[in-house]
Amino acid sequence: MRFITIIIFLVFFTSCDLFKMQEKEDNEANVVAIVNGEKLYKKDLLNLTPDNIRKEDSIVLVKSFIQNWAIKKLLLDKSKKNSSLETVNEINDLVESYKEGLLINNYKEQLVKEQLDTVITDEELEEYYLDNKENFKLNEELVKIKYLHVDVNINDKKELLKLFKSDSISDLEKLEKQELSFKDYQFNDSIWTQLDNILLKLPFSKEKLLKKTKFIEKQDSISLYLVSIKDVLPRNSIAPLSYIKETIEQLILHKRKIELIREIEKIIVKDATENNNFKIY
């Protein structure tokens, strides 16, 4: 009986050794590159190549990855051997400082996300705008413009001109119903638009479009252009509130964020002091 038990143990340990050897052989078979004893395995290359890629391109991509991996390992090994202890310590300090900064900023952002008041009233927007108007000078020209670009042979041209010149909402709606036959258009002349963007679409000079005008018409061999300019703001003018509303909202939120972070820092210091976790000697 004892003899049988010994045989069982021998078989068990032999099997374990064989299993470990087999596992080692399998691992070695999956090695694709070795640099100074560090190994790159086939599993490290999984999901490297996108689907439906040609076999030739896939091979090039894999070889490039292996080459870059080897260069990185070799350079890292050389840098470790040729760096002084002082340099290594400086780098470690930088890494630790960067890590601490990431953790702190992540914590602050989490608190800001939970506590920041993002509601901004029209009164707040106007107050901020009036207090900082001189900071909102335009770097470009703005226009309130209505324009239409159509094929020169479009049907009912007279009707089209009549509708375009009209200030009636019903006429504007009639125009909009024909939008599929237009090459380009903008009918909302109550919003400010960068003139440079308009110049990319219409064959008019900047000087021509910087003048208020009820109606301009231009035609070439293939197109007809209709333009009406309701208002103009030259460069260096104070930007209208409607044009920079989103910018002011971001500025207000940024200011609130800074103030909230300062308040959070004060509370943290106060709590630590009261709990004897922070003392100055």
Last residue of a domain, one of 78, 96, 116: 78
Mean pLDDT of 184-190: 94
Each residue's pLDDT tens digit, 29-86? 689 899 988 999 988 888 877 878 888 888 888 899 999 999 999 998 899 888 888 8
DSSP 148: E
Mean pLDDT of 17-21: 44
Task: Note whether residue 121 is domain-resident.
Answer: no
Last residue of a domain, one of 53, 78, 103: 78
Task: Note whether residue 119 is domain-resident.
Answer: no
What single string gives the DSSP state of each residue in 52-77?
T--HHHHHHHHHHHHHHHHHHHHHHH
Sign for the pseudo-dihedral over CA of 234, 239, 244, 248: positive
Q: Give bridge partners of residue 162 from the DSSP assignment.
A: none
pLDDT confidence of residue 23: 45
Last residue of a domain, one of 60, 78, 96: 78
Tally of domains within the chain: 2
* Cα distance between residue 75 and residue 273, in whole Å: 48
Query: What is the domain-level CATH number for residue 144?
Result: 3.10.50
Backbone angles phi, psi at 140, to 5 degrees: -150, 165
Picking from 215, 205, 231, the residue whose alpha carbon sits closest to that of residue 147 is: 215
Q: How far is CA 155 from CA 151, 160, 174, 178, 221, in A?
A: 9, 9, 15, 11, 16
Alpha helices in the chain (DSSP H): 2-29, 55-82, 85-115, 122-131, 157-165, 169-176, 195-199, 206-209, 245-274
Task: Note whether residue 21 is domain-resident.
Answer: yes
Task: Note whether residue 275 is domain-resident.
Answer: no
Task: Note whether residue 94 is domain-resident.
Answer: no
Q: Are residues 72 and 154 in the same domain?
A: no
The mean predicted confidence, pLDDT, of the chain is 87
User: Is the pLDDT at 3 greater than 80, yes or no?
Assistant: no
Report the length, in residues, of the chain: 281
Task: Note whether residue 51 is domain-resident.
Answer: yes
Q: Are residues 70 and 154 in the same domain?
A: no
Which residue range(s) make up the domain with 21? 2-78
Banded model confidence at residue 13, pLDDT cuts 50, 70, 90: very low
pLDDT confidence of residue 206: 93
Lowest mean pLDDT among 2-6, 38-42, 123-127, 268-272: 2-6
Q: What is the Cβ-side half-sphere exposure of residue 98, based on CA atoms within 13 angstroms?
A: 6
Instruction: Tell me the whole-structure pTM to 2 decimals.
Output: 0.68
Task: Note whether residue 169 is domain-resident.
Answer: yes
Task: Note whether residue 20 is domain-resident.
Answer: yes
Given the structure tokens 């702190």, which residue do they identify?
104
